[in-house]
Amino acid sequence: MGGAAAVTHAPARALESSIRAQAYGLGFDLVGIATLGSMETAPHFEQWLERGYAGDMHYLPRWAHKRRDSRLPYEGVRSAIVVAMSYGGRELSGPVARYARGDDYHDVLDTKLRELHAWIGAELGREVRGRAYVDTGPLLERDLARRAGLGWFGKNTNLINPTLGSFFFLGALLVDLELAPDEPFASDHCGTCTRCIDACPTQAIVEPRVLDATRCISYLTIEAKGEIPLALRESVGELIYGCDICQDVCPWNEKFSRALPAGSPFAAREAIAGKDARTLAREIMEMTQEEFSEKFRRSPVKRAKLAGLKRNAAVVLGNATAGKNVDAS
């Protein structure tokens, strides 16, 4: 009986080690494996929706029931290979959040996860049913990442890894393989620190690990459909797209965030690189749709559309004119 069990499990352990090695070879910085099933944070997510914190993100409630169990979004899958890829953190802050300065992370991670999927099938000599998710479906990827041992939920709601900080993207490859899971990340290393909560200009972190997205600068400059509320415009300061403040002040990022490697797809493109808020805002206000489509091709910035960027730029220039945050001389 014992010998039979050893023969059964040895190939799985070998496959898991090979999967990790292949994922690292593709450029991922963290890799973990989790068994799919009921998601423990689903009730908290549903409460968050009920409190109205999703704002205009009406796509979030549509498949909320599928987020309760990570086996539901794609039939027949049993395990998740969860990955993380750093997008820097040592670069200077600026009017565009670090994650959005280069190529769209959805495309970058999805391509690499598809390569990993194809490699697994070739390694096993058969088709492996599965699907890659990069913030593109009803899946609580952050929950899966913690289950796969990649980190804990910080008070700013970001997943934090003790050797990488939080400046990274998450993705998951769901497969129909019964893989031995990693140990979940059970501890919390935020302690009594409240730097992220205290530093948020709009007080969007209403309590530890609870974000009112309707007050978050990232939401206001990317997801919000209408005008930015007058009471929050001054707090937007010189931020045109996204916000890194709650990550910038985190001690784990101060110590462990990384510089982007040479040739990174997340390096700032010419339309953004080295530009201060007022310069970029003025360029956006004068930009045509054709110029926008060309300069931000395959960029996350396209999510806000040109109209959204112009709205944000007008707020930044208004703050500058009022002498707020940007030198208007």
Instruction: List the domain boundaries for the chain.
Output: 1-268
Burial class (CB in 10 A: 0-12, 13-18, 19+), 23: buried
State phi, psi for 131 to the nearest 5 degrees. Answer: -155, 140
Closest CA to 130 of 190, 181, 93, 171: 171
| pLDDT above 50: residue 141 | yes
Residue keyed to tokens 């996204």: 242
Average pLDDT rounded to a whole number, residues 188-208:
98
Burial class (CB in 10 A: 0-12, 13-18, 19+), 52: exposed
pTM here is 0.92
Closest CA to 262 of 31, 102, 110: 102
Alpha-carbon dihedral angle through residues 186, 188, 189, 191, given to the nearest 10 degrees: -160
| Chain segment 147-195, per-residue pLDDT in tens | 999 999 999 999 999 999 999 999 999 999 999 999 999 999 999 999 9
| Active site positions, annotated | 135
pLDDT computed for residue 323 by the predictor: 60
Q: pLDDT class for 210, splitting at 50, 70, 90?
A: very high
Provide the percentage of residues in the chain whose pLDDT is more than 70.
Answer: 94
Which parts of the chain are beta strand (E)? 30-35, 79-86, 130-133, 152-153, 159-160, 168-175, 205-207, 210-211
305-321 and 277-285 helices cross at what angle (nearest 10)?
Answer: 130
Three-class SS of residue 205? strand
